Amino acid sequence: MGQFKAFILSKDGGGQALRWADLDESELMDGDVTVRISHSTLNYKDGLALTGKAPVVRRWPMIPGIDFAGIVRESTHPDFKPGDAVVLNGWGLGETHFGGYAQLARVKGDWLVPLPAAFSPAQAMAIGTAGYTAMLAVLALERLGLVPGTGPVLVTGAAGGVGSVAIALLAKLGFDVVASTGRPDEAGYLKALGAKEIINRAELSGPARPLNREKYAAAIDSVGSHTLANALSMLKYGGVAAACGLAQGMELPGSVAPFILRGVTLAGIDSVMAPKVRRLEAWSRLARDLDTRLLEQMTVIRPIADAPALAEDILAGKVRGRVVFTIG
């Protein structure tokens, strides 16, 4: 058994602590595939875990990081062999199972997805849980009947990871996208991704009326709370909204009026425990529908040592697009 390096989160009576440490492979958790990790990423949930501002971690000590990409080193799983390039999103990684902020991981092969040939490991982590969640949301809207030409689609938290990828995907598919952001200086960035219109998030962040004027055919919301309630109140008859985040809050202080008077549908998007068939569909569609040139525009690459500082930034809304971590 060899050694590897990892970030370790520990907790005692004085709170939680984070350190970069040497571990032995014998300390890895159970699984039938061992992966040499090359890249990970930063999601909102990672920021919560690293800072301790929400109870994301449920087993201590823990290696954080809910995503990774890498190469299979050892496997007894029938679907994977040494040398295979793989991606993992969710499944409790960084919460109850050692995560991606490490040089090695041992996981269940059923959690892994083969890396699509269209993407490098770095590009897969530029997508990460945020981009994969955006694709799940688009798929949900499509299943509920959304097609181009039915009206504009609202994307909230537009300059964040989910929002950035959602805009790029929707625009490529032919939808008119309205991007809601609290960072007006990012208007050029959002229009470059494909947004037709930019609105200030203040238009959506206050208490919602039961019904507002019909504006949008659909919405992808990563913010929650009043923002989601307002988005629902502005959907056209038969409109659909996909909810996948809680940056403003977990509550939904709205009304049943959009549902019973306009036939609106609210679809919940869970990326953590989504079944493998849906994951494979999402990654297949990302390979087909996501412009990698736009992906590069929304991505910065940093060493894993920068993760603690960037965790504070993502919670403060200071991170634009996606951050990829290289793991030496």
The pLDDT of residue 278 is 97
Assess whether 31 and 99 both reside in one domain.
Answer: yes
pLDDT in 10s for each residue of the chain, 328 residues: 589 999 999 998 878 999 999 999 999 999 999 999 999 999 999 999 999 999 999 999 999 999 999 999 999 999 999 999 999 999 999 999 999 999 999 999 999 999 999 999 999 999 999 999 999 999 999 999 999 999 999 999 999 999 999 999 999 999 999 999 999 999 999 999 999 999 999 999 999 999 999 999 999 999 999 999 999 999 999 999 999 999 999 999 999 999 999 999 999 999 999 999 999 999 999 999 999 999 999 999 999 999 999 999 999 999 999 999 999 7
H or E element, residue 112: none
Between CA 174 and CA 185 the distance in angstroms is 25
Measuring CA to CA, which residue among 47, 42, 67 is closest to residue 316?
47
**Calculated CA dihedral for residues 23, 25, 27, 30, nearest 10 degrees:** 140
Any domain includes 145: yes
The pLDDT of residue 12 is 87
Q: What is the sign of the dihedral through the CA atoms of 182, 183, 187 and 191?
A: negative
The pLDDT of residue 2 is 86
The pLDDT of residue 1 is 54
Domain that holds residue 90: 3-115+298-326
- 128-157 burial, b at 16+ Cβ within 10 Å, e below that, comes to bbbbbbbbbbbbbbeebebeeebbbbbbbb
Any domain includes 286: no
Any domain includes 318: yes
User: Which residues, listed in sequence order, are joined to residue 67 by a DSSP beta bridge?
Assistant: 89
Residues with Cβ within 8 Å of 316's Cβ and at least 6 positions away in sequence, in order, are none
E strands in 164-234: 177-181, 197-200, 216-221
Domain count, the chain: 2
Find the CATH number of the domain harbouring 70. 3.90.180.10
Assess whether 134 and 261 both reside in one domain.
Answer: yes
Measuring CA to CA, which residue among 69, 65, 78, 97 is closest to residue 33?
78
Find the CATH number of the domain harbouring 154. 3.40.50.720
Any domain includes 195: yes
Assess whether 139 and 34 both reside in one domain.
Answer: no
Assess whether 239 and 313 both reside in one domain.
Answer: no
